[in-house]
A and B are shown apart, each in its own frame.
Chain A
Amino acid sequence: MDHLDDGDLDENQLQACFLLHQGAPRASKCGSQSPRRKAGKKENTSDVKPENDSAGLPSVLGEPPSYGLLRWQAFNAVWGRIQKLVEDIVEGEYHETFVAVQQWICNRQFSDAQLSVYHSARLVSNGSIDPCLAASWPVDSASWGKQLHTALVFLGGINPSDHWRTFNALALHLKAHNCHVAHLTSVDFLFKAGVSGPVRSLFRQLINIDPETTDMEILAAWHKEAENQGLPIAIIIEGPESCDAKILSEFLVLLSEWIAELPLVLIMGMSTAEDAIRRLLPASTLARLHLWRFTLTEPRKLLELIIRAILIESFCAFELSHEVALFLCFYFEGHDHSVTSVMRSLKIACVEHFWKEPMSFLCNSLLTANSKENLEEQCAGLPDVLLSHVNSFPSLKGNPVLGGIDTLSSERMASSLWQLRPQKRMWGIVFQCLSALGKYAGFSFWDMLCAVLQWVTKRSTAHDTDEKLGPLEKVVSRLRDMTGSSLRSTLEEWQKATVYDKELNAEVSQILLEMSNSTPGEANRLAATSLPVKSQSLDGGGVKTDASHSLKPCVLSRSALRRIGQQRTPGISQVGEVTVNKRAEDLLRRVLREHLKPPESRPFHEIFCFKDVHVLKQALAGETRRKVHMDLLNSQKALKCDCCPADGDLSSSLHDTTLAYILSQEYGDLVRVHNWYQAFAATCDPKVQVAGDAEQGDSLTPRKGRSRKSMDLPLDGEGSVKKKRGRPRKSLDTCLENGTEEKQPEVLVENRVQEENAAIQARFTRAATELQIVGLVQMPKKGNSETVRRICI
């Protein structure tokens, strides 16, 4: 982070910093954007950095080097767990549809075979054709007007990043069940290549050859071979909406011409509604398809399952702070429903955490430890460096129990960490209870989750305002006016959810029992269900009785008051229900306050909790090119260095990329590479500048292609750029006018400069390439090799 401030922009130093990713996110807000983006990207994509495999993560804070390896292992363990969790859920959800598709292919083949037998039998039995003639007839006369069986797999949403994964899984599944599978994407259906594009891809995938011609006879010949005989060929077209409609329709017609000879089956993944197929294909093509509907789990529901599993139900020894969780929820809701984005964001969070937090290696022990003692052992062996790091945790500062260095003991830490598992479980249980209630109130999982997270976040910032439940108030208050039956089913769901917590379970059962006592008709049934649970819970929880006793008086008094208030409503059951409603509500309120605590409120949470929303936000929501553009142009402002002249003139101390980009602003759409380079060299090296000036003739006629003004530039930025036009432009203009000299720069420059020139050329090339990677400049095209196209923003 310091590199930005010290003003010494040594190249190597910058590079090292970016690779290590040490830049603090807050400081870099104003920093140069492009290299940081690259660093971020690298992290997103790389699964395992090979050099880290053995050495572990680079050490932080001077920790012993072996701890880098430990953190690396911890990351692998935790991330592996999360990944497996997500993949299992996705696989489980899709499995049913995959099996259905595979079964369908089987059935189609079978029924087609039956039909053809039926038809040929009819031909012969009709007597109008003699059998020997019938035999010589092509069999396909039985399959007249046959349609191509087409499975429309409705994906329920536009998540191109997920679709590829889904269809790959489907292809694997079908391959495992004796199908030939070809997986075509919209890239195969380009107008340029015509219908031979998809056919060629088909051959490549099925036959594994790259044929000269794309004659379907090749496929037929291949399929006749012994080992392929009889196996159906499934052709998966992913994203037909984005294919070229004409080519797609031609291809489908072509396939449908061959169904007599080849057992072809088509699978199309539709990301929009069924109407799309009608818009996409002409009626004549559509008439050749027999469409079948398959539906995959909706992406939203899938996401819900994943989020529920990760945030609520499972224990991964890695927590997201509520702020982060809330951000992720909004992000998924607002932008991207895809599983890929979930995986990506979780991975980024994971990587960031294990990268930066030296104590994070404990997560692994937390995940694997069987007992508290195990953990204690781990904590006891901490080196001093890490101990002092632990002491600097902000979570301990506010906590009087665990004060300074002297009182800190490894047991405390271990017990605090050990508590995480049950706490997480409780939080899962409470949330389940809440969402069971939310279901009756008509709130979706997402609404509930967001509300809970918001409430919890608010609560953690403003202390002791516990009385109000914020957005949850609305949900909880529903309990008050619930009718008997829905209350009962809610309570029953609570009972199911709280099986793992005896104390809570007993209380719920108690309420249920009371309720059934008040309505005698169903008393027997309920007693039968709740009693065993209760008796089981009683022997375990000695504390439980105390809790319920301490609760009872206040409950009774309140319910008594209520009863007095509702004298007018007759009937015992009514009164009984009111009590039960109230009791349930009180229970929920108490439990909510007790257990819905954010993980970041616990001591030592720095070890397992990822809190840095900012990093995640930056990694997920990439800035547009505009931001890069602005940062490159206004780098002086951000750096506040002394080396640059205050008047905004260009100086040689500017970063090469920045310099090159600022210089390219002088041009219109097209930048002549040579002129650009000249200007660059002139600024970098005054000697060249001198040479350029000497060359320079006289007039400065304004160029035709005067630079386009960038529209989004704020005024101050614009000004600074404008001012910069001074010397460099002169040399540019000269180069433009003296067309002959510019072809041979080496003639202009003296010999001794030539060597330095090579270095400058290299720097220039790198700068230009970086600009190209960022997407601000397009490299020269075939026809016009002298210019690059500047992308105007």
Chain B
Amino acid sequence: MVVAMGKKGRDGRLFQSEGSLSKVMTDEECRKFLSNRFPGRKDQVDDLLCILGEPTDIFPPVLVYGSPATGKTSIVREVLSLLGRPHAYVSCRSCHSPRLIFESVLNQILGHVRSRENNYSSARKCDKLTDFVTHMVGACKDSGKLSEKTIYLVFDNVELIRDWAASGTIMSSLLKLSDLTRLPNLGLIFVSSAGPDSFQLATASREPVPVFFRDYSNEELYQILTMRQPNSELYSFFLKSSLAPFSRASRKLTELAEGLHPLFLKYCEPLLSGKVVLNDQGKRELYKYVKGYIQPALGQSFSISEPEKSRPPSTDQELKSLCSSRPVGAKSGIGFQLSLCSKYLLLAAYIASRNPSTLDDSLFGSGDGVKAKRRRRSSVSSMDKEEALTQEKHLKGPSLCSLERLLAIFQCIAADSHLVSEKSEDFQSSCAEASERRMRDVTSNVLIELVSLSSVNLVIRSSSSPLEGLPKFRANVDGDFIHKVARSINFPLDKYLLHG
């Protein structure tokens, strides 16, 4: 048996399938079947079946809500299809504008199939809600569904509607769609991951009946996860050791399954290699073995698999390739190549956005004594103040700097580092010397490189301020990264940073 999770598939032919379903279940059968199939969802199935009632019953608007991956969509759709109720399903995710929703609903009611012949167009064109209402009435009449049987419309992911323009009107008018169309037998089901209070509905709108899908408990998670595994016995042993720490981090079924999968492969390793036999002793050993991997696995947000090299893609092969997935950041170095000029630009941007501009003079100006002069005897209070300032600076994060300042610093450090490198090693420096001399005068290439740096988000370009008319820049890299960059060109970065 398989529990449908996170799957929000669609089927354009739902409406026709009403008749083609060989067997329509009764309420009782359906209840039994679904509570079997979805552990821990008995109450919700009962609620839904209660509200649904007979095929001809008038159906109030229902809001099914709960966290993601709790089986909302699957259960709603399964109930409807098992009972053989005519329904249309629209996900607001793939139908990302009102027009798409309207047309998709109409297509399903009319049984319209897009094809090359009709140039992949939809059955009716409706841009506005009023069009939709008119077409809706017409469509129900046309398809002969204006009998007493209720037609159900399922709107999935309605929480996304909130981000749209004029979201309030769309939501509330969908809610009273049966009033607008004067079709009493229109059943509306809204599936959302946000609760009823998060929808700001117009005052006169009808409150939908809420059905809440609570999060799965640990036992239910355990049950569901074991159900989908081929070797459920082994997996249940594995879950006993690892589910508890994981479920504290996330109760989302999809995330759990993903997070646990590599760990399970690790768990199987000693078994596959034959080191451990599956008995009580072996289980204890495995438990100890996998314990060490749980903590790192929790911190890993994603992994990148290596494509298999050899051909036949059996599941074994896949297992192996999954096992070899490397943790993030294992590679040393910055992981990609930057030209010399880009590196200096990045450093300049980092320095410019970390240091206050008042410091520039003492760092890059000709007089070195400025810094020494400033040093004063520090009392306790001034030290506190300074510390607070430092902290504030850190909290504020990198600041923006103008293009001129960035380029000025760039020129300074490119010139400076030339002196530094001369000391270090004459072989490379003699090569580097000329190139740096070239770099000192800013050409359009430098600007181009600044643009390409900002195109990959290493440097963030803020919208230009209306007063000054020039864009501002900010380095978008962390300390680790920039230090790696500095090291790769022997640049004394710390010398230039005010607070380490």
Contacts and interface: CB of A to CB of B under 8 A. Distances in A.
A593 to B, nearest CB: 20
Interface string B450-475: 00110111100000000001000000
Interface in B133-179: none
Contacts of A274: 304, 328, 335
9 contacts: A100-B307, A136-B17, A144-B7, A207-B120, A212-B121, A242-B457, A272-B335, A278-B328, A450-B431
A107 B436 CA distance: 49
Contacts of B442: 624
A286 B255 CA distance: 10
A685 to B, nearest CB: 34
Interface stretch (A26-34, A256-264, A386-394): A256-264
**Interface core residue of A136, A207, A711 (most chain B CB under 10 Å):** A136
A271 to B, nearest CB: 6
A99 to B, nearest CB: 11
B7 A283 contact: no
B298 interface: no
A257 B307 contact: no
A406 interface: no
Interface stretch (A66-74, A332-340, A733-741): A332-340
A471 to B, nearest CB: 5
Interface residues of B, number: 95
Contact of A273 (B107, B305, B335, B339): B335
Contact of B336 (A156, A278, A283): A156
Nearest to A135: B22
A157 interface: yes
Given A140-B7, A140-B9, A471-B430, A119 B2 contact: yes
A679 B334 CA distance: 56
Contact of A158 (B313, B342, B469): B342
Contacts, number: 250
By Cβ-Cβ distance, the 6 closest A-B pairs, closest first, are: A273-B335, A221-B114, A140-B9, A622-B444, A157-B337, A242-B455
Contacts of A287: 254-255, 258, 302
B51 interface: no
Contacts of B436: 334
B305 A293 contact: yes
B328 A218 contact: no
B305 A292 contact: yes
Nearest to A195: B96
Interface in A268-312: 271-280, 283-284, 286-287, 289-294, 298-300
Contacts of A110: 313
Interface of A: 100, 103-104, 107, 110-111, 114, 119, 122-123, 126, 128-129, 132-133, 136, 138, 140-147, 151-152, 154-160, 186, 194-196, 207, 209, 211-218, 220-222, 225, 239, 241-242, 250, 253-254, 257-258, 260-261, 271-280, 283-284, 286-287, 289-294, 298-300, 326, 330-331, 333-337, 443, 446-447, 450-451, 454, 471, 474, 620-624, 669, 711, 792
A257 B93 contact: yes
A661 B307 CA distance: 59
B339 A293 contact: no
A624 B407 CA distance: 13
Contacts of A792: 469
Given A132-B23, A261-B10, A196 B97 contact: yes
Contact of B447 (A241, A280, A620, A624): A624
B12 A217 contact: yes
A157 B336 contact: yes
Contacts of A100: 307
A145 B97 contact: no
A477 to B, nearest CB: 11
Contacts of B435: 330, 333-334
Nearest to B7: A144
B115 interface: yes
Contacts of B228: 144
Given A154-B335, A154-B336, A260-B7, 10 more contacts: A103-B307, A123-B2, A128-B1, A158-B452, A158-B453, A241-B456, A289-B302, A292-B305, A335-B449, A622-B445
B284 to A, nearest CB: 31
A12 to B, nearest CB: 30
A141 B334 contact: no
Interface string B390-413: 000000000000001000000000
A239 B313 contact: no
Nearest to A224: B115
A446 B3 CA distance: 58
Given A140-B9, A291-B305, A111 B313 contact: yes
A26 to B, nearest CB: 18
Nearest to A271: B456
Contacts of A299: 337
Contacts of B100: 213-215
B495 interface: no
Contact of A334 (B68, B303, B339, B427): B339
B308 interface: yes
B302 A145 contact: no
Contacts of A157: 336-338
Interface in B400-444: 404, 426-428, 430-431, 434-436, 438-439, 442-444
B71 to A, nearest CB: 11
A250 to B, nearest CB: 7
B9 A261 contact: yes
